[in-house]
């Protein structure tokens, strides 16, 4: 990495990223996956804390830092979340019919049993950090800030060969009860974290035929 | 970058990221900023399309790919968005008093006038891609998927020395009218993109004293 002095201010040196780094960064984006197949190998607690620290480098509206990270470690808490998933998944399966229901039932949609780390990430909706700046007309950007932190955590984990799976098949309010979380915290993501059983560069739902990846040209318009 | 064969399957080679890459990746996270001070230098349209393609490598619930990218290029569209900001910002300023109002008024909160690229990012709320998988109990994860794409775009841009500023001080429904966007699309982020006037590793709101960065230990609990 090389450093340069900004021509504009002459004050702030910043890193300059080269093409080799950009190539590897794109590889990181391509090989980040929603992982549901984990090894049970533990994650070093110091490394986990380091990953959470890095996650907090995410952008947050008004610098509000609304992320709250809950390490779900007890057998009891994990069993309650597992049961929560089973109820939500049975309900989801009931919403599909025929071939689609059959395919859904074959999909592995979580790694709750094997992943050594469960991390529930919340938004503290009553925090006054940031004093509401940027969040008056679009208060949902506070929620989005927590989503950003999860995305940074995801990438940082993958750079260490660690996989992350986001379990969204949960009743979020029941999950708060399951974990004894204050009512004014909002569940954003329940994450399984651990070393993956295999690496993949295509989403599992693409490979299983549930939903193919589309060309980006479908998603760009001009105004 | 080295490649290895997964021990578990023997089928899927994946990239292994080394400590040098991880160091640079953390630098990227540290030096990604919400940029409001832009040079007017144009962005190569091919590079912009490439960045949008990379953004679409983001995770999406059920592989739903709900992101829609709108390049806001006409004078008329940009003027309407600029006026939208002015109204929303005047209302926001009116919500602060005394010293806080004085400080707020001095902050530069957008780069709408200088940034060569305006990109409005929407969620198509009626898309059937992904067929609702993972989004029954937490449909908001469809929205979060678009937020993830914006975060990937932000990092990819910074790796090219390009800055991004997320303008959230807008009336999102009026913005849809401003741009002639279908009612069933939801504005997630309005982005200014361009080469920054300076590099920074601390958020502008930290440096100006609006909101300091807190230690991560404030944000971690166990259950």
Helix (H, G, I), strand (E, B) or coil at B34: strand
Q: What is the DSSP string of chain A?
A: -EEEE-TTTSS-EEEE--HHHHHHHHHHHHH--B---B--PPPPHHHHHHHHHHHTTS--GGG---EEEEE--SHHHHHHHHHHHHHHHHHHHTT--HHHHHHHHH-----TTT-SEEEEEEEETT--TTTTTT-SS-THHHHHHHHHHHHHHHHHHHHTT-EEEEE--S-HHHHHHHHT--TTEEEEEEEEEE-BSS--SS-HHHHTTSSPPPPGGGGEEE-
Give B 119-178 residues with CB within 8 A of chain A.
120, 129-138, 140-141, 143-144, 147-148, 151-152, 154-156, 158-161, 166, 168-172
Query: What Cα–Cα distance (Å) separates residue A153 from each residue in A20, A164, A169, A202, B171?
Result: 22, 9, 20, 20, 30
- Judged by CB atoms closer than 8 Å, whether chains meet at A24 and B17 is answered as yes
A68: chain B residues, CB-CB within 8 Å: 219-221
B68: chain A residues, CB-CB within 8 Å: 219-221
For residues B29 and A56, what is the distance between their CA atoms, to the nearest angstrom? 10
Helix segments in B95-166, DSSP class H: 98-106, 140-159
Whether B37 has a pLDDT exceeding 80, the answer reads yes
The beta-carbon neighbor of B130 closest among A179, A189, A211 is A211
B159: chain A residues, CB-CB within 8 Å: 17, 21-22, 25
Q: Does A50 touch chain B (CB under 8 A)?
A: no
The reported pLDDT for the residue numbered B138 is 98
Give A 20-49 residues with CB within 8 A of chain B.
21-32, 34, 39, 49
The reported pLDDT for the residue numbered B64 is 97
Q: What is the pLDDT of residues B160-211, one digit of tens each?
A: 999 999 999 999 999 999 999 999 999 999 999 999 999 999 999 999 999 9
Q: What angle, rounded to 10 degrees, do the helices at B19-31 and A140-159 form?
A: 160
pLDDT category, A5, cuts 50, 70, 90?
Answer: very low
Residue with tokens 């938004």: A123
Q: Give me the half-sphere count of Cα atoms (radius 13 Å) on the Cβ side of residue B56.
A: 23
A107: chain B residues, CB-CB within 8 Å: 133
The reported pLDDT for the residue numbered B11 is 55
Overall pTM surpassing 0.90 (yes/no): yes
**Average pLDDT of chain A to the nearest whole number:** 94
Please state, as a whole number, how many other Cβ atoms lie within 10 Å of the Cβ of residue B117: 20
The beta-carbon neighbor of B12 closest among A49, A109, A200 is A200
Query: Beta strands A67-71 and B13-16: pairing type?
Result: unpaired
Taking CA–CA distances from A13, the nearest residue in chain B reads: B199
Residue with tokens 């004293």: B209
The CATH class of the B35-210 domain is alpha beta
Mean pLDDT for B80-87 is 98
Q: What is the pLDDT of residues B95-123, one digit of tens each?
A: 999 999 999 999 999 999 999 999 999 99
Q: What is the pLDDT of residues A96-133, one digit of tens each?
A: 999 999 999 999 999 999 999 999 999 999 999 999 99
Structural tokens at position A74: 């007890």
Evaluate the CA torsion angle B177, B180, B186, B187 in order and state its sign: negative
Query: What Cα–Cα distance (Å) separates residue A183 from each residue in A123, A124, A132?
Result: 11, 9, 20
The interface predicted TM-score (ipTM) is: 0.94
Query: What Cα–Cα distance (Å) separates residue A122 from each residue in A115, A131, A177, B25, B220?
Result: 20, 19, 13, 25, 10
A191 strand-pairing partners: A119, A166
Query: Beta strands A2-5 and A13-16: pairing type?
Result: antiparallel
Whether A12 has a pLDDT exceeding 80, the answer reads no
For residues B64 and B142, what is the distance between their CA atoms, to the nearest angstrom? 7
The residues spanned by each domain of chain A are: 33-219
The CATH class of the A33-219 domain is alpha beta
Whether A46 has a pLDDT exceeding 50, the answer reads yes
Query: Which one-letter DSSP state was computed for residue B180?
Result: T
Are the CB atoms for B14 and A199 separated by under 8 Å? yes
Structural tokens at position B129: 């891609």
pLDDT category, A13, cuts 50, 70, 90?
Answer: confident
Mean pLDDT for B70-94 is 98
A96: chain B residues, CB-CB within 8 Å: 131
């Amino acid at each position: 990495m090389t450093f340069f002095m900004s021509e504009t201010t002459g004050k702030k040196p910043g890193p300059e990223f080269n093409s080799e780094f950009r190539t590897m960064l794109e590889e990181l984006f391509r090989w980040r996956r929603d992982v549901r197949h984990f090894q049970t190998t533990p994650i070093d607690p110091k490394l986990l804390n380091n990953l959470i620290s890095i996650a907090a480098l995410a952008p947050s509206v008004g610098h509000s830092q609304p992320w709250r990270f809950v390490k779900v470690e007890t057998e009891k808490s994990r069993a309650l979340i597992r049961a929560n998933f089973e109820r939500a998944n049975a309900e989801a399966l009931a919403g599909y019919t025929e071939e689609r229901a059959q395919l859904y039932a074959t999909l592995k949609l979580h790694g709750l049993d094997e992943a050594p780390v469960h991390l529930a990430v919340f938004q503290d909706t009553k925090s006054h950090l940031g004093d509401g700046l940027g969040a008056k007309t679009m208060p949902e950007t506070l929620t989005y800030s927590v989503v950003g932190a999860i995305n940074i955590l995801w990438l940082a984990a993958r750079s260490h060969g660690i996989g992350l799976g986001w379990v969204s098949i949960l009743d979020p309010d029941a999950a708060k009860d399951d974990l004894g979380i204050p009512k004014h915290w909002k569940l954003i993501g329940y994450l399984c974290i651990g070393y993956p059983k295999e690496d993949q560069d295509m989403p599992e739902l693409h490979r299983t035929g549930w939903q193919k990846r589309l060309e980006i040209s479908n998603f760009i318009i001009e105004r």
